[in-house]
Structure 1
Amino acid sequence: MNTVTKEQIKNELANYVAKIGSQNAASKRLTNVSNATISNILADKWDNIGETMWLSIQKQVTVSLDGWQVVTNVRRVKQLHQLYSDAKDFSEVFCVVAPAGSGKSQPATLFTEHPNVYRVVCKEHFSRKTFLVELLTAMGKDGSGYTIHELMNEVLNSILKAEKPLIILDEVDKLNDQVLYFFISIYNTTEDKCGIVLQATDFFKKRITRGVSANRKGYKEIYSRFGRNFVELPNNTDRDLAEIIKANGVKEEGEIIRITNQSEGDIRRIKRLVKAFLRKEAA
């Protein structure tokens, strides 16, 4: 492994440590990587660090998007980056809605490279305890063995100790009401001390507005806490889609047009079509 690659891994590791909060916490989160190893890498003391260890660290700390290039100069990604930055720097709370497959999750993954950014990908099966454990895991902490009360206290204490923390709850529309109410609890304790971004499909907007109209428990409180406003992302233009396709290896103008037309603006479908084209070209 050459020095340039090692420098890249060192920088990724430094970002990871900053995100987790300390070298000790990072060593507990990483598999088979000691605090001493982290210290030596960050201090450029590499003589006794083997290539296997370098590769292991690279795999664990590098943000992976499966080789897919996220184009950062398209309107939607730029707006999300600005929104995350505002939420983090000014402890703002936003609710972002956009159709499924429109490209919300990958920019969120990239933004976790910033320190004290904690992203949870929500699932339908999450219980209250599972959700809190996942949030603690994103913070680099082990939540096993705690009661729900203890988990919530650990989450809140960790947030209040962090500098400019940001929580991104991706696919928040998949949470059931009992778990969603935790958003209220977290907000109430960390108001003006933590940014929170909820991300969901446009179904979440319908769910919240219907719940508010029906005076459903907790829904007015949830709606109020993100300012009674849904941030609706702009549609990707054909030019945006073409830039994404080009950045991921398709250069022929005819193929770019074909993939754009067949995608219906869905980034997941673009990804499949691009990969299918590249496999065909390589055959």
Structure 2
Amino acid sequence: MINQSTKDAIKAELNKQINLIGSAKKLSVTLKVSNATISNIINDKTALISDQLWFSISGALGLNFDLQWLHADTEPYKKLTNYFNDARLHSNVFALVTNPGGGKTYAMDDFRDKNPHTYYVKCHRHTTERDFLKQLLNSMHVNFNSHRITDLLNKTVEVARKLESPSFIVDEFEKVKNDVFVLPIDIYNSLENQVGITIIGTPNLKTRIDNGVARGTMGYNELLSRVGGKVIEIPAPSHADACNIIRANGINDKDTTVQKGKVVNAMQYIISESDNDNNEVDLRRVKRLVHAIKQKGIGK
């Protein structure tokens, strides 16, 4: 998926070229792009313009987006977005797990950017209840000076109640201590049917919840109940997902690269070096390999 900053850069370059060449009509002939398309971009009427057309226009303009990583709508992205949206619209609570390199961060950032009143907390091993609530309030653009947990929790609830369809996304949740682990449920219990919450992490999150329930650790049974009795596993990106992203970043199906003295298909090489025995792809590895190959002058 081509992002907004890239679209803005293309629009700015179109305006620049129109001023140089004299008219949008003349530019459309030069770029071999319809005048209507150029007009729609200039006037921010771009809903029906495909990513492929954006890429074509940027290439015709000679723009170089090698340093910018572009995304495509992978299946994990679609599933994550659907759960985020379900939580937001219907005040649901979900627990999701994804493999590292599955595109989770982009999906979260993209959803937050597109949906007002969606707020984000990233957890760490040393995150305390106070840290968690302060980070959540900061995400909501609330400056609150109290350090008391009860005050911070009450303020979070007070602010959220005034919002339309608020949603909280809590990332890397498997890392926190037990007192923080049950905090989202305290928030939800105070805002039932008024807030959506998605907790998300690696497969270790599912293991931790299962073990906590098995041991009878306080709060774990309630947490599992609140998330519908199960932790949802988001599938890793497939080879098809990887191909879409590789193409979006300028390497096509016929490009080749030299590896260990042999000429090989660049896309097939990237995929073979990025997947595991289950044909699941690590998109972080894909990104590094695409960058390395494009440094050699291969791809658009």
TM-score tier (shorter): 0.7 to 0.9
Shift of 1:235: 2.9
Shift of 1:107: 0.4
Q: Give 1:67's aligned residue.
A: 68
2:271 equivalent in structure 1: 260
CA distance in structure 2 between the aligned counterparts of 1:122 and 1:144, rounded to whole angstroms: 21
1:9-61 Cα deviation digits (max 9, x unpaired): 9xxxxxxxxxxxxxxxxxxxxxxxxxxxxxxxxxxxxxxxxxxxxxxxxxxxx
Q: Could you say which residue in structure 1 is the equivalent of 2:109?
A: 109
Superposition pairs of residues 173-188 of structure 1, within 5 angstroms: 173-188=174-189
* TM-score (normalised: structure 2): 0.69
Higher fraction of helix: 1
- Equivalent pair of 1:133/1:144 in contact (CA under 8 Å): no
Q: Is 1:278 aligned to 2:279, yes or no?
A: no
Cα distance, 1:234 vs structure 2? 2.2
2:72 corresponds to which letter in structure 1? V
Pairwise CA distance, 1:280: 3.0
Deviation of residue 144 (structure 1)? 4.1
Q: Which residue of 2 aligns with 1:63?
A: none
Secondary structure at the aligned position of 1:281 is classed as: coil
1:150–1:67: structure 2 CA closer, same or farther, 3 Å change rule? Answer: farther
Per-residue CA deviations over 1:125-170 (Å, capped at 9, x if unaligned) read 2111111111111111224444222211111111111100110001
SS of the aligned residue for 2:296 comes to helix
Within 5 A, what are the aligned runs for 1:201-240? 201-240=202-241
Whether the 8 Å contact between 2:237 and 2:283 is mirrored in structure 1 is no
Point out 4+ residue stretches in structure 1 off by more than 4 angstroms. Answer: none
When Rg is computed on C-alpha atoms for both structures, the one with the higher figure is 2
Q: Is the 1:170–1:200 contact (alpha carbons within 8 Å) kept by the matching residues of 2?
A: yes
Equivalent position SS for 2:168:
strand
Report the alpha carbon displacement of residue 5 of structure 1 after superposing the two structures with TM: 5.2
Which sections of structure 1, spanning at least 5 residues, go unmatched?
A: 10-65
The code of the aligned residue for 2:267 comes to I
**Cα gap change, 1:68 to 1:142, in 2 (>3 Å):** farther
Q: CA deviation at 1:277?
A: 1.9
1:191-219 residue CA offsets vs partner (Å, 9 max, x unmatched): 11101111111111111111101111211
CA distance in 2, matches of 1:267, 1:176: 29
SS in 2 for 1:217: coil
Aligned pair count reads: 221
Alpha-carbon distance in structure 1 between the residues aligned to 2:175 and 2:71: 25
* Deviation of 1:70 (Å): 2.2
Q: Is this contact kept in 1: 2:87–2:197, CA < 8 A?
A: yes
Q: Which amino acid aligns with 2:284?
A: R
Q: Structure 1: how far apart are the matches of 2:84 and 2:210?
A: 24
Report the Cα distance in structure 2 between the residues aligned to 1:151 and 1:133, rounded to whole angstroms. Answer: 7
Mapped to 2, the partners of 1:237 and 1:258 lie a distance apart of 15
Instruction: Please give the root-mean-square deviation of Cα atoms over the aligned residues, in Å.
Output: 2.1
Matches within 5 A, 1:130-209: 130-209=131-210
Counterpart Cα distance in 1 of 2:77 and 2:235:
10
Which residue of structure 2 lines up, in the alignment, with residue 37 of structure 1? none
The residue identity in structure 2 corresponding to 1:202 is P
**Cα deviation digits, residues 173-232 of structure 1 (max 9, x gap):** 111111112112111111111011111111111111111011112111111111111111
Does the residue aligned with 1:95 lie in a helix, a strand or coil?
strand
* In 2, Cα distance between equivalents of 1:207 and 1:154: 29
Shift of 1:274: 1.5
Q: Normalized against structure 1, the TM-score is what?
A: 0.73
